[in-house]
Amino acid sequence: MRLVWRHRNSSDEIKDPRRTAASPTLLRGGIVVSIVERVSPEIKKDMLQVGPVKKVYDVCIVGSGAGGGTAAKVLTEGGLNVVLLEAGPRLDPDRDFKEHMWPYQLPHRGVGVGGRQRGIGDEFMAPNGFWQIPGEPYTVANGSAFQWFRSRIEGGRTNHWGRIALRFGPADFRAHSTDGMGDDWPISYEELAPYYDKVESYIGVFGSKENVPNSPDGIFMPPPKARCTETLVKKACDQLHITCIPSRLAILTKPLNGRDACHYCAQCGRGCRSASNFSSSQVMIPPAAATGRLTMIANAMAREIVLGKDGKAEAVSYVDKTTKTEQRVYAKAVVVAASACESARLLLNSKSPQFPNGIANESGVVGRYLTDSVGSDLVGHFPQLEKMPAHNHDGVGGMHLYMPWWRFGQKNEFLRGYHIEFGGGRNMPGVGEFDYVCETQEGYGAELKQKCRSVYGAFIGFSGRGEMIPNENTFCELDPEVKDKWGIPVLRFHWKWGENELKMANDMQQTFRQVIEAAGGTVLVGARRHSKPSGDVQEQSNSISTGGAIIHELGTVRMGNDPKSSALNANCQAHEVKNLFVADAAPFVSNADKNPTLTIMALAWRTSEYLLEQAKKMEI
């Protein structure tokens, strides 16, 4: 044998096909010398190859949103060296956030030519993502209707979310034991409650102690006062015996950890340069970076989790979207937090002889049990608000009041429940603000302008958010033919609402009408509370939302006690790959009638503390 000295930069990836995982290595003066097996005629057997010592991080996290950001903070502050892969660019609040910009300062008022970017994807919003990403498609099976909102930027969806921060209740973790449908979680509310405490104490959530059944109180900052429109709805709810209480939003009403209190510009959906509302990019990532133990790699599209000879995850292969090359990072543990469907996609694409159907998927449940919140909207017009003098409508960029599920424990025509979000009044006018007027009012010029002024602030929209029970007809899988521009197989979605969800949506509509009429308003038939998303999105012909439209997908890599029916254990650790964890909404066993983000962060915090314990014991 002879020595072959090859000089490489430390950043070079070892792709030499001559080297195998079984090749023995020698350490000489800090340089790895490996004996290379013969795999081609021109290479002599047992040649020695010299290469750099590859860097191995303690943990690789995929995704920088609610779960990934939380994991990065907890793990780095716990002493571990972490590399974080983000599929999009880094975020600069001073450059990217537009909360104090007026519509007239942007071409086409920020919604593109012909208004094609209206809604959540317009230029006026915080940079967050899109319903359609060029070169990164997904497919929908025949007979299904589904839409998928994806974020490609540091912080993910937390840059624009509604900041609604609701704890799941005790019954939500014991759904099957309560009504016989679905499955129970392998953990209880009592086990997760301390982590809700930690998250709320750190990020700041306003609210009030109300003792509403199955809607647990938390650690709250003082809530803002109700605005004019909210007071109107509150009086109607009191008449109808519908619980209406201060909202629970992750927005500061007092300074916390160096972050200023909200200044009530009411533009939260467009970002917040003062970090007064929560986003992972401003609240979780900075303290992790401050430890000196976080390495973030932006524009890194994770392709595969690489399995080592020992049956553990040893690396994550990703596409560097800037150079269009495939790279690899090595770590002792992997935390997947790319969002529920992206995480399932990554696991399904991570195939090996040991896991031909995707890593940690011997149970076959990865991609199954997909759910989204049941959604339904209705708008009311309130003539009395037209007579209101101009008044201060400032506040947070969301609702000051909401309606938690008020019929818990009662017999209803459907199982589980829903909560109601509502808002209206004198918000900042934007494109589409007066669509309803133009649909009903004839005329143009001064007459139409005067009508728009008179109805400005006279509308209130209502949105229900309810629990979907998982069903066998709703799931995601790899499309056998379609790949994205990076060569990665894409997801194909199958979706079907169950009869229970249809009944729930119908009940929402009835409730909305009751509240609107009790408050002295009239229902606008066919009107939406929010603008229709841009892109090729199918309309539902009934009162229920399209699958995925509420952007609460979860359950695709579920946790459980039985490895035959779940992919993860109670610590969100893969049953079959002990150094693989999932820290987004994918582990959820049920959907609940509460928005999932607070629970994502609480679970991620709990999982990260468990990972820290395992690392200290050298068991990872």
Structural domain boundaries in the chain: 3-54, 224-277+374-466+498-533
The pLDDT value given to residue 119: 64
* CA-closest candidate to residue 579, choices 57, 192, 11: 57
The pLDDT value given to residue 216: 98
Q: Indicate if the pLDDT at residue 195 is higher than 50.
A: yes
Tens digits of residue pLDDT in 93-103: 988 888 888 87
Tens digits of residue pLDDT in 546-584: 999 999 999 999 999 999 999 999 999 999 999 999 999
To 10 degrees, the CA torsion angle through 505, 507, 511, 514? 120
Say which residue, 268 or 283, is predicted with more confidence: 283
> What residue spans of 430-478 are helical by DSSP H?
435-440, 446-455
- The DSSP call for residue 43 is S
Q: CA 50 to CA 34: how far, in whole Å? A: 6
Tens digits of residue pLDDT in 427-448: 887 777 777 777 777 888 998 8
| Mean pLDDT score across all residues of the chain | 88
The pLDDT value given to residue 111: 76
| Cα three-residue angle 580-584-587, rounded to 5 degrees | 70
- CA distances 110 to 29, 80, 113, 309, 431, Å, are 59, 42, 9, 52, 9
* CA-closest candidate to residue 372, choices 129, 545, 600: 545
The pLDDT value given to residue 123: 66
- The DSSP call for residue 531 is P
Cβ neighbors of 222 (< 8 A, separation 6 or more) are 206, 253, 254
Query: In 135-153, which positions are buried (b, 16+ CB within 10 angstroms) versus exposed (e)?
Result: ebebebbeebbbbbbbbbb
Q: Which of 276-290, 519-533, 586-600 has the lowest mean pLDDT?
A: 519-533
Banded pLDDT at 35 (limits 50, 70, 90): very low
Bridge partners, residue 307, by sequence: 313
Q: CA 314 to CA 333: how far, in whole Å? A: 7
Q: Indicate if the pLDDT at residue 393 is higher than 80.
A: yes
Q: Are 535 and 148 in contact (CB under 8 A)?
A: no
For residue 475, report the phi and psi dihedrals to the nearest 5 degrees: -165, 170
Tens digits of residue pLDDT in 498-516: 999 999 999 999 999 999 9
Q: Are 600 and 66 in contact (CB under 8 A)?
A: yes
Q: CA 617 to CA 600: how far, in whole Å? A: 26
The pLDDT value given to residue 534: 36
Average pLDDT value for residue range 333-342: 98
Q: Are 339 and 585 in contact (CB under 8 A)?
A: yes
Average pLDDT value for residue range 311-321: 98
C-beta neighbour count of 200 within 10 angstroms? 23
Q: CA 221 to CA 254: how far, in whole Å? A: 7
Q: Which of 9-13, 74-78, 490-494, 593-597 has the lowest mean pLDDT?
A: 9-13
